[in-house]
Amino acid sequence: MLKKVVILSILALVLFSCSAPLMMKTEEDMSADEQFALITFMRPGSGLTSFVSGDQPAEVWDGDNLIGVLRGDQSFQYKAKPGKHLFVSRAGNWGLLEAELDAGKHYGVLMKSAPGWKPFGGNKTNIILIPLTKDSEWIEKSQEWHKKCVALEPIEDNLANYEKKFKKRVQDTIAKYDNGTGEAMFLEATDSINEF
């Protein structure tokens, strides 16, 4: 049994290491402007969750468009058109966030990780998309987390290729949500924050 686990682990490592990177480090710090809202997605590390789930990557989608992938202690910024958005995160589960965004404003979204379990064994990471508002219990801690997080930006071609593989799953999840299955958190246009 142990031999089987070791072989499967090595195979998974080889397959994962052969995939094209989706994100890269960046020094650029974006700002909102009169045409777009700016959202900072931040996924602070969690020692227990990272240990239990193996720090599973979490995708972030704007509707059915993949905009980024994060592991613990990583962040990225995204310029979004003003108006309504449904942000979807996929790791071991689906996390949903409905947002109403205004141009020229900066918003923050915390990607909170929690360990979970797969029905037939193994570990997964559950992701909850939490809006960072001025009154949020997480806003003070987010300043510290932001400093620890490695800032990333997408490698557009690689992200587009990856998106093609999973777009249908995301569209199915959005359709289920539109039909009343699942719950989302809400980010209001007035929930903008100051720059980190």
pTM: 0.82
pLDDT of 83 strictly over 90: yes
pLDDT at 113: 81
d(CA 72, CA 57): 8
Helices then strands, each counted (H, E), the chain: 4, 11
Structure tokens at 116: 């979970």
Task: Please tell me which residue, 97 or 15, carries the higher pLDDT value.
Answer: 97
Q: Hey, which bits of the chain come out as E strands?
A: 23-25, 37-43, 58-62, 65-70, 74-80, 83-90, 94-101, 106-117, 123-132, 150-154, 185-187
Rounded CA separation 126/70 (Å): 13
Residue with the bigger pLDDT between 17 and 187: it is 187
**Distance between CA 74 and CA 68 in Å, rounded?**
11
Task: Read off the pLDDT band of 17 (50, 70, 90).
Answer: very low
Residue 118, pLDDT score: 53
95-152 pLDDT, tens digit per residue, is 999 999 999 999 999 998 876 655 544 556 788 899 998 888 888 788 888 888 999 9
